[in-house]
Amino acid sequence: MSPIDRRHFLSQLSLATVAVAAGGFVSRSFDKDGFVEVELAPGKLRGVRHNGVNIFRGVPYGGKVSGDRRFRRPAPVEPWTGVRSSVFGAPSMQPPRHNEPAPAEDCLFLNVWTPANDNRKRPVMFYNHGGGFVIGSGASQSQDGSNLARNFDVVVVQTNHRLGLLGFLYLDEIAGDEYAGSGNMGMLDIVDGLKWVHENIAQFGGDPNNVMIFGESGGGAKTSCLYAMPSAAPYFNKASIESGPGVRMTPKETAAETTALLLRELNIAPKDWRKLLDVPAADLLAIQNKLPSVPPFIDKDNKEKPQPGAGGFGPVVDGKVLPIHPFDPAAPDISKNKPLLVGWNEDEYNFFIWQRKEVDLVKIDFEGLQKKLETFHGADTEKMISTYRKTMPDASAIDVLVAITSIAMMGLGSIDIAEKKVQQNGAPVYLYNFGYKSEKKILDTDYPMGTPHAMDISFKFNNEVPPKDPSQPSESFFGGSKPERFVASHHFAELWTTFARTGKPAAKDVPEWPAYNMKDRPTMRIDTKCEVINNRFKEELAMWKSIRKA
């Protein structure tokens, strides 16, 4: 069969989205102006207390990663004098971000949201932002952690970390021991953030021994990698992989080809690789933007022969930092006893129709659908369409396109992860679909967004809430304006925070969520009314498995 065009999908996604010394607790104080101070080993931090939440922004968890530290492990955090204010830190090099500091090479900052700095040992929810390994930050408005902290009594942490070629350029074979692990610097930054949490989060009211890692899209793939990384294993207890199943990552052979391609673009001989250290970061970003933005998709049915073509930057299976593919051929033994959530949104593909402004797709007929899918799926297209027309008898051609492409992008990998986790006979795994339907329309069409990629972010962070002033208009970017969305958001957030607290997702007015198993294959559909659906997409999945084996 022709492989799913995951490379094209991830390239669109990347364009669209989104060592610290241990410090003992010294002091904390609240003043009448709504500030809170904490003293760590490097110096004092001043947070802002706002609506019942203490917010600490731009906390350094690693030092310099520019200059002679480029492509290497960071320098230690430099101590500071006085009190460091709560201001978002720079995100990694990328195009400028709305309402955030200018991107910069030195970007190792994290943000903390906590109900109180009171040593209460709350569960910690450590979020990995999306953006296809090349864009994004821990300061995006949709993933603000205030409501989760306030409404569900948890501590939320998010990091900025190195992205793109600054975070994932593989130099191990040409640069020597100092640059070992260079293809995974961005992932090791996240591990440093987790280490900071382990050493410091008790001072922010969090429990260092109850940490959940989670992430959406590219952040889901980062979470998959952390689930398989020995250096991360001591610092988290459970995980959630959301609309970003990272089953396989880039083999080091392909990563080496990408490095060679970059050097040719810069007219640098491999023996002169050190010249990379002198290229301005902005120039490296410009070169990165000329190359494919993400690694080529590795066909899981043809593991020994990746698709041709280097280019793209993301985690590298280097045999050391990332010893194995996260979920191929099996779930990683290192996390056997760590509970897992995994799933996807029902209408993922609508995000990309919206983002690429492909208005004509909304009017596609079944003849056009056949031609479009044949580009990616070849001779399997007819069987694919006939299966979906049987299971969706009232669906239009665009409905079928969205259903097929959404499950191909995110669903098949999510189910693959769930099945492999079950086969491990360790901690439970829980499979979900997010299904709340937004009434907002795509572009200038009459076709609703439904449940597109990335819409889950504001819902799971409980940022779909009624405005404090009822006279003010209330509409979210993807979620629309129907008040029912507040219920769906509360369900989503309560399920996730309960999982963070106990390792089992649960919520009031939501049915008991059984762990996934190979007999019933239960899936929780998250909406205003949540329901457990056994063996969901049975006929469709049988079709997918048959064409994968062909």
**DSSP one-letter string for 154-186:** -EEEEE----HHHHH---HHHH-GGGTTGGGHH
User: Model-level pTM?
Assistant: 0.93
CATH of domain 6-242: 3.40.50.1820
Compute the average pLDDT of residues 177-206.
Answer: 98
What per-residue confidence (pLDDT) applies to 14? 39
What per-residue confidence (pLDDT) applies to 38? 97
Please list, in sequence order, all residues whose beta carbon lies within 8 angstroms of the beta carbon of residue 344, skipping any fewer than 6 positions away.
242, 243, 245, 406, 407, 409, 410, 411, 414, 433, 434
- Rounded Cα distance, 449 and 442, in Å: 6
- pLDDT per position as a tens digit, 411-454: 999 999 999 999 999 999 999 999 999 999 998 899 999 999 99
Confidence of residue 93 (pLDDT cuts 50, 70, 90): very high
In CATH terms, 339-549 corresponds, of 3.40.50.620, 3.40.50.300, 3.40.50.1820, 3.50.50.60, to 3.40.50.1820
Helix H or strand E encompassing 157: strand 155-159
End-to-end C-alpha distance for the chain, whole angstroms: 7
In the block, residue with structure tokens 């100092």: 178
Compute the average pLDDT of residues 458-462.
Answer: 98
What per-residue confidence (pLDDT) applies to 31? 42
Catalytic residue among 217, 240, 243, 293: 217
Confidence of residue 292 (pLDDT cuts 50, 70, 90): confident
In the block, residue with structure tokens 């700095």: 117
Compute the average pLDDT of residues 341-362.
Answer: 96
Comparison of pLDDT for 537 and 16, the residue scoring more: 537
pLDDT of residue 59 exceeding 50, the answer is: yes
What per-residue confidence (pLDDT) applies to 335? 98
* Residue 217 falls in the annotated catalytic set: yes
The amino acid sitting at 330 is A
In this structure, what token pair is assigned to residue 475? 């509409």
Compute the average pLDDT of residues 474-480.
Answer: 87
In this structure, what token pair is assigned to residue 522? 């239960």
In the block, residue with structure tokens 């959301």: 242
- Rounded Cα distance, 112 and 149, in Å: 10
- pLDDT per position as a tens digit, 246-261: 999 999 999 999 999 9
Please list, in sequence order, all residues whose beta carbon lies within 8 angstroms of the beta carbon of residue 100, skipping any fewer than 6 positions away.
88, 91, 137, 139
CATH 3.40.50.1820 residue ranges in the chain? Answer: 6-242, 339-549
In 314-428, at which residue ranges do the beta strands (DSSP E only) sit?
Answer: 316-317, 340-345
- Rounded Cα distance, 44 and 55, in Å: 14
What per-residue confidence (pLDDT) applies to 295? 65
- Rounded Cα distance, 170 and 12, in Å: 23
Any long-range contacts for 309-312 (C-beta under 8 Å, 24+ apart)? 310/254, 310/257, 310/258, 310/260, 310/261, 311/258, 311/261, 312/7, 312/250, 312/258
Give yes or no for a contact between 10 and 132, defined as CB atoms under 8 angstroms apart: yes
pLDDT of residue 212 exceeding 90, the answer is: yes
What per-residue confidence (pLDDT) applies to 302? 39
Question: What is the rounded (10 degree) CA torsion for 203, 209, 215, 219?
Answer: 90
Please list, in sequence order, all residues whose beta carbon lies within 8 angstroms of the beta carbon of residue 336, skipping any fewer than 6 positions away.
424, 426, 427
SS3 string, 525-547, reads EECCCCEEEECCCHHHHHHHHHH
For strands 83-84 and 44-50, give the pairing.
parallel
Residue 59 carries which DSSP code?
A: E
SS3 string, 445-480, reads CCCEEECCCCCHHHHHCCCCCCCCCCCCCCCECCCE
In 204-258, at which residue ranges do the beta strands (DSSP E only) sit?
Answer: 206-216, 238-242, 250-251
Confidence of residue 476 (pLDDT cuts 50, 70, 90): confident
Compute the average pLDDT of residues 377-386.
Answer: 96
In this structure, what token pair is assigned to residue 110? 């994290």
The values of phi and psi at residue 235, to 5°, are -110, 5
What per-residue confidence (pLDDT) applies to 19? 26
Confidence of residue 473 (pLDDT cuts 50, 70, 90): low
Residue 549 carries which DSSP code?
A: H
Confidence of residue 310 (pLDDT cuts 50, 70, 90): confident
Compute the average pLDDT of residues 292-318.
Answer: 64
Compute the average pLDDT of residues 321-347.
Answer: 98
**15-19, 138-142, 428-432: which is most confident:** 428-432
State the average pLDDT for the chain.
91
Compute the average pLDDT of residues 368-394.
Answer: 96
What per-residue confidence (pLDDT) applies to 443? 86
- Identify any residues that bridge with 344 across adjacent strands, giving them in sequence order: 433
What per-residue confidence (pLDDT) applies to 549? 77
What per-residue confidence (pLDDT) applies to 306? 41
Residue 516 carries which DSSP code?
A: P
SS3 string, 282-320, reads HHHHHHHHHCCCCCCCCCCCCCCCCCCCCCCCCCEECCC
pLDDT of residue 64 exceeding 80, the answer is: yes
pLDDT of residue 11 exceeding 50, the answer is: no
Confidence of residue 309 (pLDDT cuts 50, 70, 90): low
Expressed in percent and rounded to 5, the helix, strand and coil fractions of the chain are 40, 15, 45
Give yes or no for a contact between 43 and 84, defined as CB atoms under 8 angstroms apart: yes
Compute the average pLDDT of residues 298-312.
Answer: 51
What per-residue confidence (pLDDT) applies to 468? 75
